[in-house]
Amino acid sequence: MRVLLVHSRFPTTYWGFQFSLPLIGKRASLPPLGLCTLAAMLPVEWSLRLIDLNVEELSDEQLRWADAVLVGGMLVQAPSMREVIARARAIGRPTVVGGPAPTTSPHLFPEADALFLGEAEGRAEELVAALEALCGSPRRRRLTPLVLARAEAEARPDLALAPVPRFDLLDRRSYQTMSVQYSRGCPFSCEFCDIIEIFGRVPRVKSNEQVIAELDALYALGHRGSVFFVDDNFIGNKRAVRKLLPVLRAWQAERRYPFDLYTEASVNLAADDELMREMVTAGFSSVFIGIETASVEALRETKKRQNVGVDLTAAIEKLTRAGLAVMGGFIVGFDSDGPEAFEAQRAFIANSPIPLAMIGMLIALPGTQLERRLTKEKRIRVTSSGDQFAHTNFEPAMGDRALLEGYTRLLASLYSPKEYEARCVRFLDLIGAPPHTSPTTFEDLATVARSVVRLGVFGARRGLFWRLLARGARRGLPSIRWAITNAVQGEHMIRYTDEVVLPRLREAIG
């Protein structure tokens, strides 16, 4: 059987870095790890192709080549997913859609031939049987999708069943980073989070041997550079991760640290000095932290209790000094937020060493505690699109106009070139030096050359580029790398804010 796996297109968002990727010769930030993992579960004798619409266009010839089309994606990718389904259906190719979007919102994909809901481990035979039945002759078009759902009692599969992803199906040169997954689930209970609904509150982990096998596969394929551990909370199972990190450090050291690692974690990482040191010596250089807000009232309201009672500014500075650059997630629009919340967020972020501060409006994602609460309160308007930078999907307590106007002022301030540069300077002055230096590759040099030409010579913010570079040069090569990274990422953040988000918000305000 010939199977085409299609990763749907992301809209332009803060997370996509679409304005920065051309500066470093890349087309997308991250590869479709879920589809690569699913591909490894399919029969070895099948012929597989993977198309990532964030990297290349999908042609009718590619669709005709396939006996079946598997489409995957997140909620924010749903419009692109439906477009692929429609195209495949038009030329008579059966489709199976899976991933987070159909798992939480199956009603969005009525024209798919089958919905594959939930995690895939241990269900390869079920999927293969469905594909063979869909491709049987004569084929009848289904009026409603076949639903392939895991039994509730088996909803959380053992990750020992997870195979090494088919990284070989990727055009790796098109991506800024490669990715692997160590764990699923998070022990906390944030009201707005859908991760605990999809993957549960008991973090499951792969074995050390599985993780090393995936890194071995990437290394053997020639990848060097950035690797993202896509876990939503890498330290959710601290006992397990403490056993992994020494193994990971030894693997990296034996190969002269070929991979620069980053991940996501909860803020309690800052309270564990040993765990921070172990992560840094294993090669982690940055971490995304869900900070959300400094308002204790809002944190309690949204059940993010792990952030209550924490000096968040001190925690961020401690992580930065340890050598872990912090990317921060922030939210406005909690019920307890008043007009003062926007200035409080601005002041907090402005005084923190966080160049990449992702500030979104609160949205009620499908299946979350927040959606259930707001549904009871009759405040839900529409199913969320998953884009927290565009609009909210419920009636905010402060009112729409106040939320939109406050959010607009907040973004305009924080992503002005002046304020972005100030946060970068604060970060560059504080970031701890790594205990090792990865070898400089030809691709690293090419990235520097492109950045100098496109930002430092012809860029609209040439002064910002050279001032950051000069600041980084005071502290040596690692800080120079960070300075260039900040300049490249800032190009996207500033341009996306000015050219996309602010005009859209101002239009919504009227």
Q: Is the pLDDT assigned to residue 476 strictly greater than 70?
A: yes
**What pLDDT shows up at residue 388?**
78
User: For residue 156, which amino acid is it?
Assistant: R
Phi then psi for 51, rounded to 5 degrees? Answer: -120, 125
- The SS3 of residue 404 is helix
Map 148-203 to HEC letters. Answer: EECCHHHCCCCHHHCCCCCHHHCCHHHECCEEECCEECCCCCCCCCCHHHHHCCCC
What pLDDT, on the 0 to 100 scale, is given for residue 138? 53
- As given in the structure block, the two tokens for residue 57 are 């266009």
Give the pLDDT mean for 84-100. Answer: 96
453: pLDDT strictly greater than 60: yes
Helix (H) or strand (E) holding 261: strand 259-265
The region of weakest confidence among 19-28, 135-144, 217-226, 344-353 is 135-144
- pLDDT higher than 70, residue 143: no
Please calculate the CA angle 428-501-403 and round it to the nearest 5 degrees: 100
Instruction: Give the pLDDT confidence score for residue 383 in this predicted structure.
Output: 81
Whether 214 contacts 164, CB under 8 Å:
yes
Is residue 434's pLDDT more than 80?
Answer: yes
Task: Report residue 139's pLDDT band, with 50, 70 and 90 as the boundaries.
Answer: low
Q: What is the mean pLDDT of residues 31-51?
A: 98
Of 11, 181, 135, the residue nearest 79 (C-alpha): 11
| Mean pLDDT score of the chain | 95
Residues 457-464 have a mean pLDDT of 96
Query: Is the pLDDT reported for residue 152 higher than 80?
Result: no
pLDDT tens digits for 262-313?
999 999 999 999 999 999 999 999 999 999 999 999 999 999 999 999 999 9
Q: Which helix (H) or strand (E) holds 350?
A: helix 341-350
3-state secondary structure of 227: strand
At residue 416 the predicted structure's pLDDT band, cuts being 50, 70 and 90, is: very high
474: burial class by Cβ within 10 Å (0-12, 13-18, 19+)?
exposed
Give the rounded percent of residues in the chain with a pLDDT score beyond 90: 91
Q: How many whole angstroms separate alpha carbon 245 and alpha carbon 240?
A: 9
- State pTM to two decimals: 0.96
Question: From CA 366, how far away is CA 201, in angstroms rounded?
Answer: 17
Q: Which of 53, 54, 5, 50 is nearest to 29 (CA)?
A: 54
Residue 382: predicted pLDDT = 86
Beta-bridged to residue 484, according to DSSP, are: none
Statement: residue 140 has pLDDT above 90: no
pLDDT at position 53 over 90: yes
Evaluate if residue 144 carries a pLDDT over 70. Answer: yes
What is the tens place of the pLDDT at every residue in 349-402?
999 999 999 999 999 999 999 999 999 999 999 888 878 777 899 999 999 999
Domains of the chain and CATH, by start: 2-154 (3.40.50.280), 177-429 (3.20.20.70), 430-509 (no CATH)
Is the pLDDT score of 444 beyond 60?
yes
User: Cα(239)–Cα(183) distance, rounded to whole angstroms?
Assistant: 12
What order do you get walking across the sheet with 68-72 strand by strand?
47-52, 2-7, 68-72, 95-98, 114-117, 146-149
